Amino acid sequence: MHRGSSTVTDTPSLHRNQGVTAPEGFRAAGIAAGIKASGKPDLALVFNEGPDLSAAGVFTRNKVRAAPVQWSEQVLKSGRLRTVILNSGGANACTGPGGFQDTHQTAEAVAAALSDWGTETGAIEVAVCSTGLIGDRLPMDKVLAGVTEIVHEMAGGLSGGDEAARAIMTTDTVPKQVALHHPGKWTVGAMAKGAGMMAPSLATMLVVITTDAVADAEALQLALKNAAGKTFDRLDIDGSCSTNDTVLLLSSGASEIRPSQSELDEAVLAVCDDLCAQLQADAEGVTKRIAITVKGAATEDDALVGARALARDSLVKTALFGSDPNWGRVLAAIGIAPIELVADRISVSFNGSAVCIDGAGAPGARDVDLSGKDIDVIVDLQIGEHEATIRTTDLSHAYVEENSAYSS
Amino acid sequence: MHRGSSTVTDTPSLHRNQGVTAPEGFRAAGIAAGIKASGKPDLALVFNEGPDLSAAGVFTRNKVRAAPVQWSEQVLKSGRLRTVILNSGGANACTGPGGFQDTHQTAEAVAAALSDWGTETGAIEVAVCSTGLIGDRLPMDKVLAGVTEIVHEMAGGLSGGDEAARAIMTTDTVPKQVALHHPGKWTVGAMAKGAGMMAPSLATMLVVITTDAVADAEALQLALKNAAGKTFDRLDIDGSCSTNDTVLLLSSGASEIRPSQSELDEAVLAVCDDLCAQLQADAEGVTKRIAITVKGAATEDDALVGARALARDSLVKTALFGSDPNWGRVLAAIGIAPIELVADRISVSFNGSAVCIDGAGAPGARDVDLSGKDIDVIVDLQIGEHEATIRTTDLSHAYVEENSAYSS
C-alpha cells in the first residue's frame, strides 16, 4: 500500500491530506458555533448527496450511553442516513431526559434547515455525535443557531472536509483524516477524533467514514464491524471507555461501482487501520507508541485478554515511559490475566531483543535500548498457536497533567 | 477501639509503636546485609520461641510466583513455622530453578544457624519472603553471611521488632507496625511493607503477624483468610499484582490463653485493618486517600467488582489527584464494569455531597471541594441491597515518577 503516492495505478493509495469529502457525493463543513468557551471550531456536518443513502454504525459498549448515541443507534436501524451533525464542547452524556430532547431537537433543526435548502430530510435521517465533558447540558441556543449557519456554509462550497475534521477535535492536537483511492474507480474517506478507542477509550472516539461505492446497509455493516474489531477495538490507551464512542459509515453510490464484499472489507479496514495509527500517535500525553503482541496462546481470546491486560497495566506503562526494560512487570501483569499460561514457559522480547526466556531473565536484558518513540513488546506463552496485538501508549507525566485538570 | 491508649482496661488497645515482638514468645532482628546497593537495612528475621509453633499464610494469586512464595507455601502445609527470614533488595522472582535453589539454601542456612545457637530447626520450619526488583538473582554470598549475622543479632537481644520492620522497606517511606493488646491476656503484633495490596498490588506486600494466643494452624488460617478478604484484598492502589505478596500469622501460645475463634478473628481483623490504613497512606506517590463504596448492588460481588473498576480507572484517579469533582468519569467507568446496573438510576456523592442523582448531574456538582487529603466516593446503583468498599489512592505525578525509573 502506497502512502501519499499520487501516481495513477491500479494499486489503492492512502492520502492523509483528504477526508470525508474525497469520495464523490459528499459535502462537509466545520464552524465555530460558540459551544466551546475557547471560541474554537466545535460544530461539523457531513452531508450525503446520494444517489444512495446507505449507512451503518458501531457504538460504545458502555452501559452508560450518551443521548446522541441512543439517538443515532435508533435512527440507524433504518440503514439510511442523509447527514451527520457532530459537536465538540460537550458530550451530552448523563444529562437525563432533557439531554435526549436536546439531541432530538438538534436532529429536527438539521432536517428543517436541509429541507429549506431544497433537500427534503427527516430527523430520522440525521445522526448526531457529541464529545466533550460528561454531565452538562449543551447550550442549545448556540447549537441551533450553529445548525442554521453550518447548513448555509455546507451549501456554499463543495468541500469542507478539513474544517469538519478540525471542528470535532477536543484534546486532539492534530486533525485526523485519510482517503483511500482505487484509481478511476471508487474511494473511501474518513475523519476521526479522539485520543482513545472504540470500547476502551481515553476520550470519546468519533469517526465518520464515507464512500462513493455502491453498497447496501448490510454490506456496510459487515465491513464496519469487521474493521472495527481489528482496529479500534484493539487500540487501548488506558482501559477507560467513553459514553459517546461512535463510528459511522455512509455510502453515496456516486461512483456507480459495486465492489465485492471482500474489496469493501479490505478498503474499510485499511482506512480504519490508518486512523488507528493516527489516534495512537496523538493520544493524550503520549511519548511512546507501543504495540503489545501476545502469541503462542491457547485461543485468540486469551491472546487478546493478555495483550489488553498488559496495555492497561500502570506499572508496565510507566516503565516504558521511562525507557526502562523492566520485563519483570510484564511477567507480573500477564500473571494475573485470566488466561491459560505456564509461568516458566513465558518468553518476552522488547524491540526484537529477548529479555526473558522460559520465565527467567535473558543475558543483557537490562541493557536493551528503549529510548526511541516506538516499542514492540512480544510475549510468547508457548502453549498454543494464537496471537493478537493491542496498540497502546505509555503512562506519562503529560497524561496525568492533562487528565487531572480537564473539567476545571 | 482506642488508639495509642495505655491505660489498663478490658478494652483491646492498638499501639503503632510496637510490632511483631509485642506478643510474648517472639524475637526479631533487622540488619544491613549488603543486598541493597544503598547499604540500607535489607534482612529481617522473626523468631518464634514457642511453646507452640502454629502458623498460617495467604499468598499472591498471581500465576507468576516468586521462588520464596513457592517455598513458603510448601513449608506452611505442615501448619508449623519456627521462623521467617525476609529480605528486601531483590524479589527473587522469574529467576528459574537457580532462584528456587537460592531460597532453599537460605532456609537451610537459617535452620543451621538456629540449630548452632541451640534451637534445633529444620529448613521446613523456615518461611522465606523477598521483595525488590523482579528478575535478578540474589547476591547469595551476602544473603548467607547476613543469615549468620542476623541470627547472632536476634540471639543477643530480646526485641528487634523495629529493626525488622525497617529492614523490609523498599519504596516505603515509613515502617509499618502495630500491636493489639488485650490487657493482661493476649496480644497480636504485626509488621508490613508495601505500597500496595494482597492480590492487586503496586509493590510486593509482605506482612508478618504474631500472637501469643493459643491457637492451632486451622484457627489461624480461618482468622487470616477472613481478615485478608476484608482488608488487604480491598486495598487496590493500581490494579497491579505482585509475584511475591505474602501474609503470615504465627502463634507462640506463650500467653496460655486460648481465645474463641471469633475473638481471634476480631483481633486479627483489627490488626490487618490498621496495617491497611498505614499501607494506603504510604502508597507510592499518594496525595489522596480515597475510599470508594458501591452500594445498592444486586450482589456483594457486583459491588466489589464495581468499586474495584472505579479504583483502577486512570481517568477517575487523575481527576481526584486534581481535586476535580468530575463525576462523569465515575459514570463512564462504572458503565463498563461487568455488573448489573441501570444507567439512569445511578447516584454518586463525593464527601457526602450529591454530584449525580439518577444518572444526571446534581445542582452544584462542579463546586464540591475535594482539596483535602481524604475523599469518600459513594456510588448508589439503587437496584439491590449489597455494598462493598475499596480503598485506593490518586494517580499523581509522583506515581509516574517513582515507577518510571525503578529498575534503573
Of residues B61, B322, B360, nearest to A336 (C-beta): B61
**How deeply is A257 buried, as exposed, middle or buried, from its count of CB atoms within 10 A (0-12, 13-18, 19+)?**
middle
Burial class (CB in 10 A: 0-12, 13-18, 19+), A120: exposed
Query: Please, which pLDDT band fits residue A9 given cuts at 50, 70 and 90?
Result: low
Report pLDDT digits (tens) over B214-224: 999 999 999 99
Contact across the interface for A328 and B135, Cβ inside 8 Å: yes
Residue-level pLDDT at A28: 97
Which residue's entry shows cell 463510528?
Answer: A247
Q: What percent of chain A has pLDDT over 70?
A: 93
Average pLDDT over residues B11-40: 95
Tell me which chain B residues have a C-beta less than 8 angstroms from the C-beta of A346: 64
Lowest-pLDDT range, A80-89, B39-48, B67-76, B324-333? B324-333
- Cα angle, residue B119 at apex, residues B21 and B32 outer, rounded to 5°: 55
Q: Are B188 and B172 in contact (CB under 8 A)?
A: no
Pick the residue with more confidence: A9 or B292?
B292
- For residues A272-290, give the mean pLDDT: 86
Question: pLDDT confidence of B199, banded at 50, 70, 90?
Answer: very low
Secondary-structure percent of chain B, ordered helix, strand, coil, rounded to 5: 35, 25, 40
Helices A67-75 & A96-117, crossing angle to 10 degrees? Answer: 50
Residue of B60, B83, B131, B204 marked active site: B204
Chain B interface disruption, residue of A70, A134, A244, A375, most B CBs within 10 A: A134
Reading the block at residue A372, the C-alpha cell is 526511541
Nearest CA-CA partner of B44 in B310, B291, B248? B248
Which value does ipTM take for this structure? 0.79
- Average pLDDT for residues A28-38, to the nearest whole number? 96
Q: Please identify which residue in the block is written with the cell numbers 527473587.
A: B92
Tell me the per-residue pLDDT of B101-130, one tens digit each, with 9 for 90 and over.
999 999 999 999 999 999 999 999 999 999
- The predicted pLDDT at position B242 comes to 82
Contacts of A62 in chain B (CB under 8 A): 332, 335-336
Q: Which of A60, A204, A211, A392 is catalytic?
A: A204
Between A and B, how many CB-CB pairs are < 8 A? 219
Nearest to A404 among B63, B135, B322 (CB): B322
What's the pLDDT band for A235 if we cut at 50, 70, 90? confident
Cell 528456587, residue located: B100
**DSSP assignments along B272-295, one per residue:** HHHHHHHHHHTSTT-S-EEEEEEE
Q: Report the pLDDT value the prediction gives residue A198, as an integer from 0 to 100.
A: 38
B window 379-408, beta carbon within 8 A of A? 395-397, 399-401, 403-408
pLDDT at B287: 87
Stretch B254-264: mean pLDDT: 97
Q: pLDDT grade, residue B204 (50/70/90)?
A: confident
> What is the least distance, in Å, from the CA of A406 to any CA of chain B?
8
For residue B299, indicate whether it is catalytic. no
- pLDDT at residue B408 greater than cutoff 50: no
- Is the CB of residue A308 less than 8 Å away from at least one CB of chain B? no
- pLDDT for res B6: 42
Contacts of A136 in chain B (CB under 8 A): 361
Q: Within A28-160, where are the H helices?
A: 67-75, 96-117, 140-156
Residue A125 vs residue A313, higher pLDDT: A125
What is the rounded (10 degree) CA torsion for B264, B268, B270, B274? 170
Is the model's pLDDT at B201 over the cut of 60? no
**Cell numbers given for A190:** 474518513
Inspect the interface and report whether the beta carbons of A408 and B324 lie closer than 8 Å. yes
pLDDT attached to residue B134: 87
Picking from B95, B133, B319, the nearest residue to A360 by CB comes out as B95
pLDDT digits (tens, 9 = 90+) for A333-357: 899 899 999 999 999 999 999 999 9
Among chain A residues, the shortest Cα distance to B243 is held by A332
Residue A159, pLDDT above cutoff 80: no
pLDDT of residue A74: 97
Q: What is the pLDDT of residue A199?
A: 37
Query: Which pLDDT belongs to residue A156?
Result: 86
Residue in A68, A71, A77, A86 with CA at minimum distance from that of residue A20: A86
Q: Average pLDDT of A203-211?
A: 88
Indicate the average pLDDT of chain B: 90
C-alpha cell at B191: 509488621
Instruction: Tell me which of A15-24, A68-77, A228-237 is least confident.
Output: A228-237
Of A116-120, A280-284, B190-194, B268-272, least confident by mean pLDDT is A280-284
